[in-house]
Amino acid sequence: MSRRPLIAFLAGLAPYPPPLIGSSLRIARLLRELHREFDIALLCLADVDTATIVDNWELGKELTRIVAVPRPKPLGKRDAIWGSILTCVKATVVTSLPNQRPRMFDWGWSDELVDATRRTLNELDIDAVWATRSWSGEMARAAGANRIIVDVDDFQGDLMVRELAQLRPYKRKALHLIQAKNLLKYERRLLRRYSAIAICKQEDSALVEPDSPQRIHVVPNGVDFPSGVDRSRVSPAELLFVGTLSWSPNMEAMRQLVEHILPTIQETFAEASLTVAGRSPTPEEVRSLLSRPNVQLRESPVSLTEYYSRASIGVAPLLRGGGTSIKVLESLAYALPTVVTPVAARGLGLEDGKHLLIASSNRDFAAACVHLLKNPAKARALGEAGREEVLRRFSWQSAGASARAAIHAVLES
């Protein structure tokens, strides 16, 4: 009997321990789905050691090899974006040269992970490499790998160029803009460096050179569906926000909720409250923000089921961010009526008023929440319609099938 293909999976985050944030959740679920057809050697950056992952993670003893190396220390003054002016100038010059990897990748660069990947390639008969994010792909290249599929769940160059265009002038802005445009150019040419790429949504294909569309594979985010949905214990007028507590777009969203959206809702529903559940560490400014009346912070809960089951409305007032929002899919999977901004809804193909409500301003966001609280039957119907659509299109099983097809395409090419 022929052996199963052996895949090296490079990741900048570990699939253990919980709770998992969006990026690490995608890693864990794709590993689970890829393992249905492939043997896997996992090489990742982690805050826990290899033995902890092997002994405690659900796939820990099933994979061919697991190597976890410590996450690199912060670059400080050597950071290509926020380091010294001289560092920023050097990074801008180097990034502008042909065939150079963006220097902003240095923040996640690990020579130890490159060495571990090189040893794995030498010791095992690796058929292909799946690399999460472009900077992991560059480490795979440095280790001598070929047949590399890069999972580009977020095009940072496009995101940075758009965000910088909205910022007022500041000292390093011109240098940052050059680096962002060079990153945009680098991402557009990814298929010159890698065998294939995986993207979260079809529209992202427009950000890549169109000469090899057969090497672009759509592998959307997914969600694990609860076997049953219990909406019998709903707490009146409770909003729920879920997200990594230290991620700056989430921090901005929490500030919008606490300072603008919740007070407006309380003008109609004085008892309205907000629960924030997310992975720590928790910045002090976030802890201070969430210490206000009618606001509860739940740090690193092992499970979110209790919070999704109890909330009246799921909220995601994100003002920026890329990729597709797993938190929105998860909220709808629990049939929770959900209100989001256009940024949080981007790439999901969900219809405003049919599957969820989309609001662009803080006042409109608060008004949408009030509307749902005043009309519980409509809110319930909206949540059920959202769950049905997510069940239809966003299972990890479906995403996994697309990921496996991408690998087979590379192996057969």
With a pLDDT cut of 90, the percent of the chain lying above it is 78
Same domain, 372 and 401: no
Structural domain includes residue 271: yes
Q: pLDDT for 168-179, tens place per residue?
A: 999 899 999 999
Per-residue model confidence (pLDDT) at position 132: 96
Q: pLDDT for 111-151, tens place per residue?
A: 999 999 999 999 999 999 999 999 999 999 999 999 999 99
Residue 325 clears pLDDT 60, i.e. is over it: yes
Same domain, 67 and 216: yes
Q: φ, ψ for residue 135 (rounded to 5)?
A: -70, -30
Rounded to 10 deg, the angle between the 134-142 and 111-123 helix axes is 60
Which is more confidently placed, 253 or 224?
253
Same domain, 34 and 114: yes
Q: Lowest mean pLDDT of 120-134, 231-245, 363-377, name the range.
A: 231-245
| pLDDT, mean of residues 213-231 | 88
Same domain, 260 and 307: yes
Same domain, 190 and 318: no
Report d(CA 336, CA 72) in Å as an integer: 38
Structural domain includes residue 59: yes
Same domain, 126 and 213: yes
Expressed in angstroms, the distance from the first to the final Cα of the chain is 22
Cα separation values, 87 from 77, 105, 106, 108, Å: 7, 14, 12, 16
Per-residue model confidence (pLDDT) at position 323: 66
> Which domain covers residue 97, as residue numbers?
6-223+396-412
| pLDDT, mean of residues 271-282 | 93
Structural domain includes residue 230: no
Residue 107 clears pLDDT 70, i.e. is over it: yes
Structural domain includes residue 232: no
| pLDDT, mean of residues 97-110 | 91
DSSP H helices, 20-101, are 22-34, 50-56, 85-96
Same domain, 244 and 321: yes
Residue 280 clears pLDDT 90, i.e. is over it: no
Same domain, 244 and 276: yes
With a pLDDT cut of 70, the percent of the chain lying above it is 99
Structural domain includes residue 355: yes
| pLDDT, mean of residues 71-94 | 91
Report d(CA 295, CA 108) in Å as an integer: 34
Q: Lowest mean pLDDT of 161-165, 258-262, 283-287, 363-367, name the range.
A: 161-165
Same domain, 290 and 196: no
Structural domain includes residue 214: yes
Per-residue model confidence (pLDDT) at position 131: 98
Residue 275 clears pLDDT 80, i.e. is over it: yes
Same domain, 204 and 331: no
Per-residue model confidence (pLDDT) at position 145: 97
Where is mean pLDDT largest: 74-78, 171-175, 270-274?
270-274
Cα separation values, 115 from 68, 69, 121, 296, Å: 12, 10, 10, 44
| pLDDT, mean of residues 359-364 | 97
Structural domain includes residue 248: yes
Residue 118 is part of a domain; what is its CATH number? 3.40.50.2000
Query: Total structural domains in the chain?
Result: 2
Same domain, 197 and 140: yes
Per-residue model confidence (pLDDT) at position 270: 96
Residue 21 clears pLDDT 80, i.e. is over it: no
| pLDDT, mean of residues 347-354 | 94
Per-residue model confidence (pLDDT) at position 322: 66
Per-residue model confidence (pLDDT) at position 54: 97
Per-residue model confidence (pLDDT) at position 56: 96
| pLDDT, mean of residues 26-46 | 97
Helix or strand (DSSP H, E) at 275: strand 273-278
Structural domain includes residue 233: no
Mean of all residue pLDDT scores within the chain: 93
| pLDDT, mean of residues 207-234 | 87
- pTM strictly above 0.75: yes
Q: Lowest mean pLDDT of 22-26, 48-52, 125-129, name the range.
A: 22-26
pLDDT bucket at 234, cuts 50 / 70 / 90: confident
Residue 98 clears pLDDT 90, i.e. is over it: no
User: In this structure, are residues 356 and 339 in contact, taking their beta carbons and an 8 Å threshold?
Assistant: yes
Per-residue model confidence (pLDDT) at position 378: 96
Residue 24 clears pLDDT 70, i.e. is over it: yes
Per-residue model confidence (pLDDT) at position 380: 94
Cα separation values, 153 from 23, 104, 190, 226, 242, Å: 9, 17, 13, 24, 20
Residue 63 clears pLDDT 70, i.e. is over it: yes
Same domain, 203 and 146: yes
